[in-house]
Structure 1
Amino acid sequence: MPAKLLQLVFDGVADGPVGIALDIVAAAARVVRAGLVDLPCGRQVPRHHIVSVTGEPVRTAAGRTLAVDGALALRGLGAGDVLVLPGLGMATPREIDAGLARPDITRGVELVARAAARGVLVAASCSATFVLAASRVLEGRQATTTWWLGPTFARRFPRVILRTDRMVVAAGNVFTAGTAFAHADLMLALLAHTLSPSLAHAVANLLLLDERASQARYMVMDHFRSSDPVVRELERFITANLARQVTLREMARATATSPRTLARRVATALATTPQQFAQRLRIAQAVHLLETTRRPVDDIAAHVGYADPAAFRRVFRRETGETPLARRTRSLVPDSE
């Protein structure tokens, strides 16, 4: 009997991810039926069901009624089965707080914890990662979430090792993904993990889905701006000194704080360190120059404080998931490295 893949949906579920999951599982079944990929012996594409906590239809974020196949029943679920939570229409900290206090989501949190205890692989994307984290299955593990909610996630779940630069994070039997359309990446990762990497690759090719390891390239620096005046002053200081590397002591002096206080304020506001924040500002400026000028990459590296062009390329790739040349090519500003 094939394993089960259940999508657990709540009122406010994002419409796109639900459809993406349906398309990907259906495409996987077509690929296997056509003989394009051979699965390991005994493996089959899972049966896909959409379930809610009560078995009643839910109202999507777009205001549509979404029929479900029934209520989430844990009986019969175990190792080999997958429970996926598509992203919810919760885009702000206030909406996160209100959502996690809802009775249906509170009940969903309990069911997720019990499913994980039975050996079910559990996964979530976008703001549904908050539901997963509330079940405590992520404690002590790495995880990602939609990148602009990273600071909110880090404050609420300090025992989770947050990696907002990653599109998908696999931590044992728990998978998380970033923004709503990272649900496609999540589903492909689940196919690769539970069935076959070759199947996931074939489905990605069939549906013309890019392979994206990082969501860092999509981060807009304005979302990292904070109402904290210390953080705003730090940003001004770093921006005025992009051509050189500044020390933590210099940053603390410029913001009239101690290094320890500065680190605490930045961690609270941005869920990162002052040094990492400075690095992101430098890379953001580098991206801007790559997209809007024809300056050589080595000159841009020096302009944003990297005397060693090779080191700049390593940091740029780690932060954005691509090389400087790839970024320039996408922006249609011709040049070479």
Structure 2
Amino acid sequence: MKHVSILVPNEAVLASISDPRYMFTAVNEFLEAAGKPQMFDVQMVGLTKEVQLNKGAFTVHADVLLKDVKKTDLVFVPALSGDLKAALEVNKAFIPWIIEQYENGAEVASLCIGAFLLASTGLLNGKECSSHWKTANEFREMFPEVNLVDGRIITEEHGLYSSGGANSYWNLLVYLVEKYTDRETAIMASKVFAVEIDRKSQSPFIMFNGQKKHEDKPIKEAQEFIENNVADKISVEDLAIQFAIGRRHFERRFKKATNNTPVEYIQRVKVEAAKKQLETSQKNVNEVMYDVGYADTKAFRTVFKKITGLSPIDYRNKYNKEAFVA
């Protein structure tokens, strides 16, 4: 029997507590129906017996207190909400316990922006991690030693797991079900919970919002210039000259301030502008391509797919209902 501990932090997102509980208790039922023994002892673990969430709108009754769990096999760190620095502060008592359990052989999985609490343990330093794209800049600022990967649904490294944003954690739940049971049970779980099995990327859902919480004024001005001239062909050399900074020094400063190289930033801004047109306009792909400063169809398609995981046509068909019908 595997012991599954679902943490119940203050300021947690309720669904990211109830959903893993629902998944793993349901898997027990699937196994029992197939004539197999149940595999999971699932407990919700809190600092107090009752934890109020959503400003008191919901109360979660923990099955057991943190101090009473001496050993477990799998720890789920739910998503947090609100002011993340404040949420980490009120939940700091979980940190030494998570570290102790991991050192004693437990695996740990963060769901969505539960990655902030897992990263606070230091266990993710030097390792890959996924989280919600919306908090990516804040995460990188707070945890520069963690390799936050854009677009990934699931990361796994040395018994530490993370999932992408929002409902992406369902894919991690199915993934862990397969790891702890078998493929047949994971397929059953994916069908019952209507989760697309083996989905790897959250790239189509990412909305690029350049990191501007820095004090490098010329770089911030360069970012704004790129964003305000999306239809123009912009080179790194031109930007360096315009802002009177040597090219190599400009590239280093830009990367340090924004977490993107200038070329990556230009591409992301152009692709974000293209995505918005593909979502809302009746323009064809070539028209959109020209509007965002590309003249080479192959180059545009390659960059677009690299960033979104979809071709421009597939992206338009996915998000623009009228264009798809037409």
1-structure distance, mates of 2:247, 2:180: 46
1-structure distance, mates of 2:55, 2:194: 25
Q: How does 1:29-108 map to 2 (within 5 A)?
A: 29-35=28-34, 45-52=39-46, 54-63=47-56, 64-72=58-66, 73-77=68-72, 81-90=73-82, 95-102=83-90, 105-108=91-94
Q: Residues 237 and 254 of structure 1 are in contact (CA less than 8 Å); yes or no, is this contact kept in structure 2?
A: no
Q: Secondary structure at the match of 2:237?
A: helix
For residues 264-295 of structure 1, the C-alpha deviation after alignment (integer angstroms, 9 at most, x for no partner) is: 55445543332222111111122122223343
Q: How does 1:221-300 map to 2 (within 5 A)?
A: 221=208, 223-224=209-210, 226=212, 229-239=217-227, 241-243=229-231, 246-259=234-247, 262-263=250-251, 266-267=254-255, 269-300=257-288
Cα shift at 1:83:
0.4
* Structure 1 pair 10–325 and aligned structure 2 pair: CA distance change class (3 A): same
Q: 2:113 aligns with which of 100, 121, 127?
A: 127
Equivalence for 1:141: 127
Q: 1:316 aligns with which of 287, 304, 311?
A: 304
2-structure distance, mates of 1:173, 1:96: 25
Q: Which amino acid aligns with 2:112?
A: C
Cα shift at 1:163:
0.7
Q: Residues 226 and 266 of structure 2 are in contact (CA less than 8 Å); yes or no, is this contact kept in structure 1?
A: yes
Q: Residues 5 and 83 of structure 1 are in contact (CA less than 8 Å); yes or no, is this contact kept in structure 2?
A: yes
Unpaired segments ≥5 residues, structure 2: none
For residues 185-220 of structure 1, the C-alpha deviation after alignment (integer angstroms, 9 at most, x for no partner) is: 221222233323443333222222345433333333
Cα shift at 1:306:
4.3
Q: Which amino acid aligns with 1:125?
A: L
* Structure 1 pair 65–240 and aligned structure 2 pair: CA distance change class (3 A): closer
2-structure distance, mates of 1:165, 1:245: 26
2-structure distance, mates of 1:260, 1:150: 26
For residues 13-48 of structure 1, the C-alpha deviation after alignment (integer angstroms, 9 at most, x for no partner) is: 11121122123223323433444xx99xxx854221
Q: Which amino acid aligns with 2:7?
A: L
2-structure distance, mates of 1:195, 1:316: 37
CA RMSD, aligned part only? 2.9
Q: 2:321 aligns with which of 304, 307, 332?
A: 332
* Structure 1 pair 200–74 and aligned structure 2 pair: CA distance change class (3 A): same
Equivalence for 2:201: 214
2-structure distance, mates of 1:120, 1:55: 22
For residues 132-153 of structure 1, the C-alpha deviation after alignment (integer angstroms, 9 at most, x for no partner) is: 1111111111111222221222
Normalised by the length of structure 2, the TM-score is 0.85
Percent identity between matched residues is 23
Asked if 1:304 is matched to 2:264, the reply is: no
Q: Which moved more, 1:134-143 or 1:284-293?
A: 284-293
2-structure distance, mates of 1:106, 1:140: 21
Q: Which amino acid aligns with 1:75?
A: K
Q: Which amino acid aligns with 2:17?
A: V
Normalised by the length of structure 1, the TM-score is 0.82
Q: Secondary structure at the match of 2:6?
A: strand
Q: Which amino acid aligns with 1:304?
A: V
Q: Which amino acid aligns with 1:10?
A: P
Q: Residues 14 and 180 of structure 1 are in contact (CA less than 8 Å); yes or no, is this contact kept in structure 2?
A: no
Cα shift at 1:121:
0.7
Q: Which amino acid aligns with 2:129?
A: A
Equivalence for 1:177: 163
1-structure distance, mates of 2:69, 2:183: 28
Cα shift at 1:232:
4.6
Q: Count residues in correspondence.
A: 319
* Structure 1 pair 240–98 and aligned structure 2 pair: CA distance change class (3 A): closer
